[in-house]
Every structure is written in structure tokens, then in C-alpha cells.
Amino acid sequence: MTPSDQIDRLRSTLLDWYDREGRTLPWRVRPEDRARGRVADPYAVWLSEIMLQQTTVPHATPYWFRFLDLWPRVDDLAAAPRADVMREWAGLGYYARARNLHACAGAVSEDHDGRFPDTLEGLRALPGIGEYTANAILAAAFDKPASVVDGNVERVITRLYRINTPLPKAKPEIRRLASAIASPDRPGDYAQAIMDLGATVCVPRTPGCAACPWAFACEARAAGDMSRYPLKEKKKPKPVRRGIAWLVRSPKGVWLRQRPDKGLLGGMMEVPSTPWGEAEPEGDPPFAGEWADRGEVRHVFTHFELRLSVREAAALPDWEPDEGGWVREKALEREALPSVMRKVVAARSR
């Protein structure tokens, strides 16, 4: 079989598999949907792609439905107060995405008359849209040729060709090989098909090779070492940062303040704390009182592990915070509190 014949067979077998086995997702337009006249909604596709960065489909899907219910069009999202968007985003993590989501909606609404650009350059120019996301939107929303390579695609390609260069150094080679297979006739379906293959069959552990349409060509399967790929450079241990969280309660609620827009958890609400650093935390409490030790909360971020010692006290009768304010206990669920801060608030039960 010539290399050209091999590519043709890879394309046809993957697309045949996708037509039968591809996932049905609420933002996705499958071939049978197009036959009934349905077309992709770029706004819905964009929203899903931003939410799915660092998040699984089952976790992101309820948020996607809620956002569309609250803001059915990109113009609606652009007009919404950013605080409302941040609050609805709470629980999805990586909160810079929420700030960029709102900024992107504003740019599309104001600069593009509410229509997403259908070119790679136009999409890349929007806030929060990088190379991968722009290609994913281009393929899924506009059915245009695109180089869509996420973690699932990296796994599939490194196994298919048994690439022994570790990630991230292997990324250019993976993109080149993946682009060579991409279907020029059904670019949108191909991009979603190869991502589905990685997400449902060519999974990290115990891949389902018996159900894989590319089993006939997979070099790792032939060698019997599928789970070895993709190779990755050894990760350095995450540094540990520490701080003290001052959990203050009063009849008015819990003391919260908003973090600065720039930086980690930017724009989100927080239980006030000392600065986070690698040394043992030091700092005076907001007021002199009886501070109870509620133990330590641990949370792993991308680049470091955070350990917060939680100290709790009841506010003195005449004390009011000089920044932030009170949020009633029953309203905490609707606040834009990141997961680590919800752990801090819950620490009182320990």
C-alpha cells in the first residue's frame, strides 16, 4: 500500500466510524443533522470550546446549557455584567477563561456585528482564542480545513506512528502528521472524529483497540506498547505555597473580597488571606479576637500546590471590613467563589 493509499484509507475508515459511533453533543452538528437542514451555531461552538479547555464534557455540559439559557446570543452575553458571568462560571476553574469569554463576546458584538469571524486570523485576534481553539471553531462551526490537535489527537497520532519524541517537543511532528491525514472534503467531521477517537477509544489506559478503525495501521498496537504513548518529559515537582485565610463571620454573613483582575483567580471572590509564598506564612489577623484553627486546605493549581491555614473568628460588634463586604451564607452558592475558597468556607466543619 502506497503512502497515499494509506492516507486515503485512514480518512475513509475514520469518517465511516464517526458516522456510526461519533458522540452526539448538544453543540455538535452531525452528518444526519445536516441532512435535516441543521447548521452549526458558531456562538454555541465557541462557548463549548472555551468551557472544554481543561474541563471534561460531562462537567462542562450543564454550564453550557445554563449559559445559553441566560444569554442565548453572543450580544446577550456581551451585555451581561461581568460579575454575573464570573458567578455563573464558578466551578469550571481557570478563571481567566471567564474574563476572556466576556471580553470576546464584547468584541464579537461590537466589532463584528455579533458574527464570529470565519477565518483563522479573525478568530485568533479575539480575546481568549488561541491556535487550537481557533482551529477547532473553524472546523466545527464553519466546516473549514483546520489543524485541530488537542491532547486526544496527540495520543492517537503518537500511537499510530509510534512517535518516540516526548511531548512537548513532539508537537510540531504530531501537527504535521495529523494535518496530512485531515480530510479536505469533510474537515469539520474529520476534526471531531479524531478527537472522539481519542476521547472514547484510544484512551490513556486500556485503549479499546478492538473497536478502533485505525487498528490496521497503528504501529503501537502492532508492537503491543500502546499505553507507553505519548511519551512525556518528566515533570518537576510542584512548588508549595502557603498562606493564612481569615474566615470571618457575622450576623451579616461571611467576609469576602474581590481579587484583582490580573493574576491567578483574577476577578473572583475570595476569603481574604495573607500573600501566598513558599515561606511559612506570617501576618496579623484583621482584628484582635479569638481565632479558631480550622486546619489546612490544600489545592493544586497548574504550577504549584497551595496550602492555606484557615483561621476563623466572629466579627467584633463594631468591626467592618475596609475592603470587600458581607455575603449571606445562603447566597454563597451563587457567588463567584473558586473551588479553593469554597474549601476554606467549608473548613469550619472539620
CA distance to 134, 257, 326, per residue, from 322 (Å): 43, 10, 11
Q: How far apart are CA 56 and CA 48, in angstroms?
A: 11
Q: How far apart are CA 160 and CA 300, in angstroms?
A: 33
Q: What is the pLDDT of residue 348?
A: 65
Residue 323 appears among annotated catalytic residues: no
Please determine, for residue 289, whether its predicted confidence score (pLDDT) is greater than 70.
yes
Q: What is the pLDDT of residue 94?
A: 75
Domains 3-228 and 240-349 share a fold: no
Domain 3-228 fold? Endonuclease III; domain 1 (1.10.340)
Q: What is the pLDDT of residue 4?
A: 86
| Domain coordinates in residue numbering, the chain | 3-228, 240-349
Q: What is the pLDDT of residue 96?
A: 82
Please determine, for residue 153, whether its predicted confidence score (pLDDT) is greater than 90.
yes
Task: Tell which residue, 345, 347, 341, 344, has the closest CA to residue 87.
Answer: 341
Q: How far apart are CA 77 and CA 293, in angstroms?
A: 42
Q: State the Cα torsion 41-46-49-52 to the nearest 10°.
A: -100
Please determine, for residue 282, whether its predicted confidence score (pLDDT) is greater than 90.
no
Report which residue type is found at 312: E
Q: What is the pLDDT of residue 93?
A: 76
For 193, the grid coordinates are: 472524529
Please determine, for residue 214, whether its predicted confidence score (pLDDT) is greater than 80.
yes
Task: Summarize the confidence of residues 143-152 as an average pLDDT.
Answer: 90
Please determine, for residue 154, whether its predicted confidence score (pLDDT) is greater than 70.
yes
Q: How far apart are CA 42 and CA 129, in angstroms?
A: 13
Report which residue type is found at 344: V
Rounded to 5 degrees, what are φ and ψ at 8? -60, -40
CA distance to 61, 154, 157, 190, 340, per residue, from 163 (Å): 33, 10, 8, 22, 38
Q: Which residue is catalytic, options 49, 154, 312, 335?
A: 49
Report which residue type is found at 239: P
CB 109 within 8 A of CB 103: no
Q: What is the pLDDT of residue 189?
A: 93
Please determine, for residue 240, whether its predicted confidence score (pLDDT) is greater than 50.
yes
Torsion region of 64: left, alpha or beta (phi above 0 gives left; psi -120 to 50 gives alpha): alpha
Q: What is the pLDDT of residue 31?
A: 85
Q: How far apart are CA 214 and CA 212, in angstroms?
A: 5
Q: What is the pLDDT of residue 350?
A: 47
Q: What is the pLDDT of residue 1?
A: 64
Among the four given CATH numbers 3.30.230.80, 3.30.1330.200, 3.20.190.10, 3.90.79.10, the one describing domain 240-349: 3.90.79.10
* pLDDT tens digits along 28-63: 998 888 888 899 999 999 999 999 988 889 999 999
Task: Tell which residue, 323, 334, 253, has the closest CA to residue 83.
Answer: 334
The secondary structure of 161-178 as a DSSP string is TT--SPBTTTHHHHHHHH
Q: Is 260 helix (H, G, I), strand (E, B) or coil?
A: coil
Q: What is the DSSP letter of 228?
A: G
SS3 content of the chain, % helix, strand, coil (to 5): 45, 15, 40
Task: Summarize the confidence of residues 264-281 as an average pLDDT.
Answer: 90
Q: Which residues contact 117 (CB under 8 A, 6 or more apart)?
A: 123, 125, 126
Q: How far apart are CA 174 and CA 97, in angstroms?
A: 26
pTM of the complete model: 0.77
